[in-house]
């Protein structure tokens, strides 16, 4: 373990030196990448210091116990020995996880898109419930949620809604939410009291930086149209809403959330960039998933990943067979425990794949 950590320390020293070099500071892309790497390595360095301290304490305690000349010292050494013996395996597990190569996308912000699936009005209401759940979860994490575009359902909720989430490690956390979510409950519109199954699709894209994807403006058709939905007197009178069509791929991004045409265009370009970036990423993820045989983040948007059963007060995540009877809290944004389990399962798979024998 110490040998591995020594290699990490060498890289940490190298990165620490690089991020203060003038030529690196002027290269924005490289500077951002090195800063992220520095942050990750700093965590490992902190753990390394604690690990060295415990291993030295263990060695020192063993020597005092073996000497045995001072009973009081031996007693203290035994306590020190037990403490170190208990702490070291836990620390090694934490370090193993930190040594797993980080996905460079994980630290990015995210663009999330919710779409009502099968189930008519009830599916739109459910998409609205999911938006509320994610908004509350993001709020609890101190992340900022910014709506980009939406189309309201006829009886409430959304046919589709797109929003940006800004904060620390947003994509690395929310990527586990991508897939089909199902709800089983008696709809408000149902007079017979029968349980219906409806669905909504959640898509999560890492927000692409300008230097991640270059878009040729000549390949983008820009259309301006009137906003629809709430927004006061200016709605339907000014052409502030913007729709972008990327001609080579046919991808469309639009924004009507801001009153300013310029701001809507800026936001729509951000979404288009993220969608193009996601296309490339999806190919890579499919290859990785095939190699690892993973289901946790397969990137398959048609995969049913989670069921919310109201009559039983149950939420089941089908990828890892996790069932929690805490539906009310979960739909109110308390999804951290599900994400923790998914991250744990994903890390376990990565550990097996990297075959780390530390």
> In angstroms, rounded to a whole number, what is the distance separating the alpha carbons of residues 239 and 225?
5
Cα gap 181→280, rounded to integer Å: 24
Percent of the chain clearing pLDDT 70 (strictly above): 88
Rounded alpha-carbon distances, angstroms, from residue 290 to 61, 283, 286, 287, 296: 48, 11, 6, 5, 12
All domains of the chain in start order, with CATH: 2-99 (1.20.58), 110-214+282-349 (3.30.70.1660)
pLDDT greater than 60 at residue 171: yes
> Could you tell me if 128 and 225 are in contact, meaning their C-beta atoms sit under 8 angstroms apart?
no
**With contact defined as beta carbons under 8 Å apart, do 113 and 174 qualify?**
no
* Three-state DSSP class for residue 280: helix
pLDDT tens track for 54-112: 999 999 999 999 988 888 999 999 999 999 999 999 898 888 878 877 777 888 899 99
Asked if residues 196 and 187 have their Cβ atoms less than 8 Å apart, the reply is: yes
Per-residue pLDDT for 293 more than 60? no
* Parallel, antiparallel or unpaired: strands 241-246 and 314-317: unpaired
Residue keyed to tokens 């001609």: 247
3-class SS of residue 12: helix
Phi, psi angle pair for 74, to nearest 5° = -65, -40
C-alpha separations of 83 from 25, 48, 53, 95 in Å:
44, 17, 12, 18
Sign for the pseudo-dihedral over CA of 302, 303, 309, 314:
negative
Chain centroid to Cα 143, Å, comes to 12
pLDDT at 309 over 90: yes
Q: What percent of the chain has pLDDT over 90?
A: 46
The pLDDT tens digits for 323-349 are 999 999 999 999 999 999 998 888 888
Q: Report the residue count for the chain.
A: 358
């Amino acid at each position: 373990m110490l040998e591995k950590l020594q290699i990490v320390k060498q890289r940490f020293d190298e990165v620490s030196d690089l991020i203060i070099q003038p030529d690196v500071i002027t290269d924005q892309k490289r500077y951002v990448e090195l800063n992220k790497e520095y942050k990750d390595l700093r965590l490992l360095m902190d753990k390394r210091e604690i690990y060295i301290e415990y291993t030295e304490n263990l060695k020192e305690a063993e020597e005092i116990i073996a000497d045995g000349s001072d009973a009081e010292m031996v007693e203290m050494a035994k306590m020190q020995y037990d403490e170190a013996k208990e702490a070291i395996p836990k620390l090694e597990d934490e370090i193993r996880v930190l040594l797993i190569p980080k996905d460079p996308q994980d630290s990015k912000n995210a663009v999330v898109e919710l779409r009502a699936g099968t189930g008519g009005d009830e599916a739109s209401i459910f998409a609205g419930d999911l938006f509320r759940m994610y908004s509350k979860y993001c709020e609890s994490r101190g992340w900022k949620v910014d709506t980009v575009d939406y189309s309201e359902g006829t009886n409430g909720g959304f046919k589709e809604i797109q929003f940006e989430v800004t904060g620390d490690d947003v994509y690395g956390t929310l990527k586990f939410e991508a897939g089909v979510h199902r709800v089983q409950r008696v709809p408000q519109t149902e007079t017979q009291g029968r349980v219906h199954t409806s669905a909504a699709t959640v898509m999560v894209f890492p927000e692409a930086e300008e230097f991640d994807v270059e878009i040729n403006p000549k390949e983008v058709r820009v259309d301006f149209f009137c906003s629809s939905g709430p927004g006061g007197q200016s709605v339907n009178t000014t052409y502030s809403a913007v729709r972008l069509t990327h001609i080579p791929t046919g991808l469309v991004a639009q924004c009507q959330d801001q009153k300013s045409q310029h701001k809507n265009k800026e936001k729509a370009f951000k979404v288009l960039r993220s969608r193009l970036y996601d296309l490339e990423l999806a190919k890579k993820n499919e290859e990785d998933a095939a190699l690892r045989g993973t289901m946790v983040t397969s990137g398959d948007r048609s995969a049913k990943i989670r069921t919310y059963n109201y009559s039983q007060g149950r939420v089941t995540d089908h990828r890892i067979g996790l069932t929690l009877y805490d539906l009310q809290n979960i739909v109110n944004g308390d999804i951290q425990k599900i994400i923790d389990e998914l991250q744990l399962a994903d890390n376990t798979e990565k550990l097996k794949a990297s075959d780390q024998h530390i």
